[in-house]
Amino acid sequence: MRAARASAALASGLALACAATAAPPLPAAARAPVVPSEVAVRVDDLERLPVEAREIRPGIFKIEGQGAIFLVNTPEGAVLVDTGFDNASSVRQKQVVDAIRTGPIRTIVLTHSHQDHSGGLRHYAKERAAGARVVAHERYRYMSRHQLEPVAYFKRRYKRLYPRLVNTDPNVDRSYWEVVPDRAVWPGQDYAFELGGVRFEVIAFENTGEGEDGVALWLPDQRVLFVGDLFGTLYPMFPNLYTVRGEKVRDPLDYIDACDRVLALRPEVLVPGHFEVVEGEAYVQASVAKMRDAVQYVWDATVAAMNDGKTVWQAMDEIELPPELRLSQGHGKVSWSVRAIWELLTGWYHDDSVANLYATPPDAVYA
């Protein structure tokens, strides 16, 4: 309407007046998608998700559950992304998979070794016996060992956090942590394959928001990117660089590199391992860039605090995200990440008391 009014004004010989009063075009920043600083869901909400299928794009399905499963149908068979949690929900998900797949499962891509993504693998034993390949990160077995060998310790620890989800039975089948991938993928060496005329690319990252064995599956023609937990359980969120359930620190610089790789692909559809599918190239670019920049900010601030002679405790207390970079901390806190960065760079000894170097517990020293 503004353009029509301007044309009429020009026709009337009022070009000068029109130019003086017309509103200038909005700057690009003003038109950018709004990336929220908080999200409405939390990890506990995964327990309430029904097992059901949704078609993301023609032939591409999400089978919802505590750990989502994804299926890509092709004329020559199907590709499966993740296998769900190691509980009853993955049994129901397998039934849905069998109902909607249009051919045999040829490839199973495991985005990482956490049990809500790989735990249902045992339900696909027949498919694997028939020739279905398991594709995963070359660090899949390494990260699996970190969970399997101290499993009794971790199950006690997890039970305090997720009492309804954790099965402490030592005889539970955890064979998914003993799998050797049929095709391991290394960072910097993407694995491309084609099935039924559909192109696939498996991308391995040095590290992600949930560990160093994360891969993504890219469908370049459809511009759909399955990312597992690359960014964490929520989206968007400040990543869980350290999880209080216990695990190796996730290297923030590698996380930033992973974000840059996603941005370079410019996906139209981003498919996290949990909750909603993320639609629209502009929003994907804006949200991934914000998460990347937030982590870069916390890294820079932590390093600056170290160089300025502050203690880790001061840094944890003082470092906050600026308003333009605020993200949900519903599954990853900035203060914990400050300490994670500090200890990633220095190790666990903070040089504040030699008492930390001995076997005497802190409560005996400070009581």
Instruction: Write the CA distances from 84 to 115, 252, 313, integer angstroms.
Output: 8, 27, 38
In this structure, how many other beta carbons lie within 10 angstroms of the beta carbon of residue 338?
Answer: 26
* pLDDT higher than threshold 80 for residue 9: no
* pLDDT higher than threshold 60 for residue 167: yes
* pLDDT higher than threshold 80 for residue 164: no
Tens of pLDDT, residues 169-200? 777 788 888 899 999 999 999 999 999 999 99
Buried residues in 183-222 as b, exposed as e (16+ CB within 10 A): ebbebeeebeeebbebebbbbbbbbbbbbbbbbbbbbeeb
The answer as to whether 122 is a domain residue is yes
* pLDDT higher than threshold 70 for residue 365: no
The answer as to whether 249 is a domain residue is yes
Place of tokens 């207390």: 317
Per-residue confidence band for 350, with pLDDT thresholds at 50, 70 and 90: confident
What is the count of structural domains for the chain? 1
Between 332 and 301, the more confident residue is 301
Per-residue confidence band for 288, with pLDDT thresholds at 50, 70 and 90: very high
Residue 177 near residue 146, CB atoms below 8 Å: no
* pLDDT higher than threshold 70 for residue 356: yes
Q: Which domain holds residue 74?
A: 43-346
Tens of pLDDT, residues 294-303? 999 999 999 9
Q: What is the pLDDT of residue 17?
A: 37
3-class DSSP state of 202: strand
Q: How much is the average pLDDT of 220-241?
A: 95
The answer as to whether 114 is a domain residue is yes
* pLDDT higher than threshold 50 for residue 138: yes
The answer as to whether 219 is a domain residue is yes
Q: What is the pLDDT of residue 48?
A: 85
* pLDDT higher than threshold 60 for residue 27: no
CATH of residue 334:
3.60.15.30
* pLDDT higher than threshold 70 for residue 23: no
Comparing 33-37, 46-50, 248-252, 315-319, the range with the smallest average pLDDT is 46-50
The answer as to whether 35 is a domain residue is no
State the maximum Cα–Cα separation within the chain, in Å, rounded to a whole number. Answer: 89
* pLDDT higher than threshold 80 for residue 348: yes
Place of tokens 């709004």: 34
Q: What is the pLDDT of residue 171?
A: 76
* pLDDT higher than threshold 80 for residue 335: yes
Per-residue confidence band for 50, with pLDDT thresholds at 50, 70 and 90: confident
The answer as to whether 250 is a domain residue is yes
Secondary structure string (H, E, C) spanning 302-340: HHHHHHCCCCHHHHHHHCCCCHHHCCCCCCCCHHHHHHH
The answer as to whether 225 is a domain residue is yes
Tens of pLDDT, residues 75-129? 999 999 999 988 888 899 999 999 999 999 999 999 999 988 899 999 999 999 9
Alpha carbon dihedral 310, 312, 318, 321, in 10-degree steps, equals 120
Q: What is the pLDDT of residue 40?
A: 87
Per-residue confidence band for 2, with pLDDT thresholds at 50, 70 and 90: very low
Q: What is the pLDDT of residue 1?
A: 39
The answer as to whether 10 is a domain residue is no
